[in-house]
Structure 1
Amino acid sequence: MGNQGLHVERCGHGPDLVLLHGWGLHGGVWQDLAEALAPRFRLHVPDLPGHGASASITPYDLDALAAALAQVLPAGAHVCGWSLGGQVALRLAQHWPGHVARLTLIATTPCFRRRPDWPHGMDEASLAEFARNLEADYEGTLKRFLALTARAGEGARGVIARLRASLFTRGRPVPEALRAGLAILREADMRGELAQVMQPALVIHGSHDNVTPPAAGRWLAQHLPDGRLLEVAGAAHAPFLSHRAQVAQAVEAFSHG
């Protein structure tokens, strides 16, 4: 497995800060937050394999995604991941700890799917419907997912508009990568691995997140060895868009704290 074709945009000056996007999108989703942080950080913004300008990889799982990123990212960085990108950041911190000095996990859950011992996830029927719709109409499915991402939060219409506007600006995601990413969300259960993540971690979660429930973020912050929680009042699944200034301030303070 090579890393040729893994696209990383870099800008800014200061300590290294990595921004990892979520399922179905690309690094461009961070544009608003990146503009706020670039004066104080050296930003590294990859497109995950099979998304944006990055070629896909085989196999496609959390280990492979983290390994591909480890080849192109700086050591000792502050790694910030959103949703699926947060799960990748956790795996990177666990298996390549030298690359990760601290973690910010935005709208991240250790277990995306609801289970008998985990009520804080999406039900199996909804995930199965996403998988079926992805095969029939992946563009429509992505747009519906983006609407779900912002629904119930403050400024929902504007957040949805910004997400949709950026969706295909770097080309269309590879269907196999979308399928494999959804499989990660359905199957990954990282609860038993959190004790191995020793880096300081800031969990940022929206109070109105209906993709990864706020209780999942609270649980994550409580069970990371050095975790802390910022619950953003009124935010849904993309607080870095709806509450950019608050999130930027929190990331900067945590990075230097």
Structure 2
Amino acid sequence: MSLHVEVIGRGPNLVMLHGWAMHGGIWHGVAERLAAHFCVHLVDLPGHGHSTAVEPFGLNMLAERVAAEFPWPVHVLGWSLGGAVALRWALDHPTAINKLVLVASSPCFAQRPDWPSAMKQEVLAGFASNLQADYEGTLKRFLALQAMGGQATREVLRALQDKLFERGRPDGVVLGKGLDILRDVDMRHELQHLDPPTLLIYGERDGLTPAPVGRWLAANLPDAELMMLKHSAHAPFISHPDHFAERVIQFLS
């Protein structure tokens, strides 16, 4: 199994994990800023970008594959699905992660009776169903949801679209299994065991991982700090790159 990792900069090791359907190149806008302070590892998750898929394709296997690539303690930053992988990694390997940054991510992405601040089950099911019939259209609609409501919506959407197929077309089967992860994952009951100090970066206008998720995590994690960006949606590292980079550098330094 081959995991593609792009490395830039020097200093303490920082591993960055992207979201669903994307690849490590999505970080280029902020990675250059971070590389002045850290040795930044931009990972293509299995089945994305230039990395081969894993079997069985699930959250545990994704976390184990990434953990195997970095057998020494590192800082980890994960966005959306990448944040779920980072959480699983930190829970399963408590001494492997020095500090953790979660960006617009969630321990539970789909609504439950006791968890209203999440995507509706039927929305995720619709994406999974439409992915087979209209691959490109479904991906573009998902990108639009990520940018919607935030500052500089058009610019954020354009940046996401420009990166989407930069490393090839993501495999539809892998993307479907990724949606299954988003539908099924629920790590809320495990979070009291999360060891690393954690920075939470969320957008007040995020429709996919709403702001109450960040506030809930800040109240329920053992050691957490919350940065809530008032005018940001699901991709704060694109809409507010300077604020994002400055806060990450401050937290990890």
Answer whether TM exceeds 0.5 for this pair.
yes
Matches within 5 A, 1:58-207: 58-207=55-204
Aligned match of 1:40 in 19, 23, 37? 37
Secondary structure of 1:93 counterpart: helix
1: distance between equivalents of 2:103 and 2:71? 21
RMSD: 0.9
Structure 1 unaligned regions, length at least 5: none
| Deviation for aligned residue 1:61 | 1.1
1:79-114, Cα deviation, whole Å (9 max, x unpaired): 000001001000000112232111000001111111
Number of equivalenced pairs? 253
2: distance between equivalents of 1:147 and 1:178? 17
Structure 2 unaligned regions, length at least 5: none
Q: Report the counterpart of residue 245 of structure 1 in structure 2.
A: 242
1:166-217, Cα deviation, whole Å (9 max, x unpaired): 1011111121210111000000011001011111000000011011110011
2: distance between equivalents of 1:223 and 1:60? 29
Q: Report the counterpart of residue 53 of structure 1 in structure 2.
A: 50
Q: Report the counterpart of residue 215 of structure 1 in structure 2.
A: 212
2: distance between equivalents of 1:145 and 1:122? 12
1: distance between equivalents of 2:219 and 2:169? 37
1:202-237, Cα deviation, whole Å (9 max, x unpaired): 000001101111001111121111111110110000
Contact 1:24–1:173 at 8 Å: present in 2 too?
yes
Over 2 Å off, 4+ runs: none
Determine whether 1:18 maps to 2:15. Answer: yes
Contact 1:44–1:73 at 8 Å: present in 2 too?
no
- Give TM-score, length-normalised by structure 2: 0.98
| Deviation for aligned residue 1:158 | 0.3
2: distance between equivalents of 1:125 and 1:255? 38
Identity score, percent = 51
Q: Report the counterpart of residue 230 of structure 1 in structure 2.
A: 227
1: distance between equivalents of 2:75 and 2:248? 9
- Give TM-score, length-normalised by structure 1: 0.97
Letter in 2 for 1:145: F
2: distance between equivalents of 1:64 and 1:51? 14
| Deviation for aligned residue 1:12 | 0.3
1: distance between equivalents of 2:226 and 2:76? 16
1: distance between equivalents of 2:2 and 2:220? 36
1: distance between equivalents of 2:96 and 2:167? 27
1: distance between equivalents of 2:68 and 2:5? 11
